């Protein structure tokens, strides 16, 4: 186990998205594995009936919503197109973004880290009505393929579990929710 301490870390924020890099090499009988992770340091709090605070200071959130699609291309976005989109978003003064009801591309999430955009990320359960009704009666067991024959595999409980385990190193994530839709 290795540790590193610093007296005055550069904190991640929308005005100064400081990122660090950690590289780890694991060696064993079956070879070596290298992992590199970029991460930032920050703290935030939602003050009840008060302001949002980032790194102890009040921050006015100026946000937008993002769907990962584009006119004429659908969901087949190139990295270049995503970068152009985020350059425009940052130019508009956005410091907070709510993402659609599914996992966004790695490029989009890394750009949020790099550009200083806080993220409200959804757990991908939308249109999961069959799963929700069944889960109220009995939790989905890991060995089951899908909760319902109509339920797409990417929206089942396994996909949600993987999403919850996404890297915590990303400083952009300020909020995670299970969706906003209500089924009547």
* Residue 148 pLDDT > 70: no
Higher pLDDT, 95 or 4: 95
Closest by CA to 114, choosing from 92, 91, 90, is 90
Mean pLDDT of 141-165: 46
The closest alpha carbon to 100, from 127, 72, 73, belongs to 127
Render pLDDT for 53-102 as a digit per residue (tens, 0 to 9).
999 999 999 999 998 888 888 888 899 999 999 999 999 999 999 988 77
Separation CA 142–CA 121 (nearest Å): 24
Q: Band the pLDDT of 175: cuts 50, 70, 90.
A: low
Mean pLDDT (the chain, rounded): 78
Q: How many angstroms separate the Cα of 37 from the Cα of each of 24, 78, 157, 179, 180?
A: 9, 23, 27, 28, 31
3-state secondary structure of 17: strand
Q: Are strands 96-99 and 173-177 parallel, antiparallel or unpaired?
A: unpaired
Q: Is the confidence at residue 124, as pLDDT, over 70?
A: no
Give residue 137's pLDDT.
Answer: 56
Model confidence at 4, pLDDT cuts 50, 70, 90, reads confident
Checking if the pLDDT of 153 tops 80, the result is no
Task: Write down the pLDDT at residue 177.
Answer: 57
- State the DSSP string of 51-119: -EEETTEE----EEEE-S-BTTTBT---HHHHHHHHHHHHHTT--EEEE-SSPPPHHHHHHHHHHT-EE
């Amino acid at each position: 186990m290795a540790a590193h301490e610093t007296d005055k870390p550069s904190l991640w924020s929308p005005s100064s998205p400081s990122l660090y890099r950690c590289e780890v090499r694991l060696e064993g009988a079956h070879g070596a594995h290298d992992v590199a992770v970029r991460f930032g340091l920050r703290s935030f709090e939602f003050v009840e009936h008060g302001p949002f605070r980032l790194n102890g200071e009040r921050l006015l959130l100026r946000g937008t919503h993002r769907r990962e699609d584009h006119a004429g291309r659908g969901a087949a976005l190139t990295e270049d197109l995503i970068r152009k989109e985020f350059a425009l978003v940052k130019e508009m003064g956005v410091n907070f973004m709510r993402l659609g009801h599914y996992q966004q591309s790695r490029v989009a999430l890394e750009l949020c880290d790099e550009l200083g955009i806080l993220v409200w990320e959804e757990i991908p359960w939308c249109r999961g009505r069959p799963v929700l009704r069944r889960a109220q009666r009995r939790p989905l067991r890991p060995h089951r393929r899908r909760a319902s024959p109509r339920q797409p595999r990417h929206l089942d409980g396994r996909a949600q579990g993987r999403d919850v385990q996404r890297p915590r190193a990303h400083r952009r994530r300020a909020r995670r929710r299970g969706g906003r839709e209500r089924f009547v």
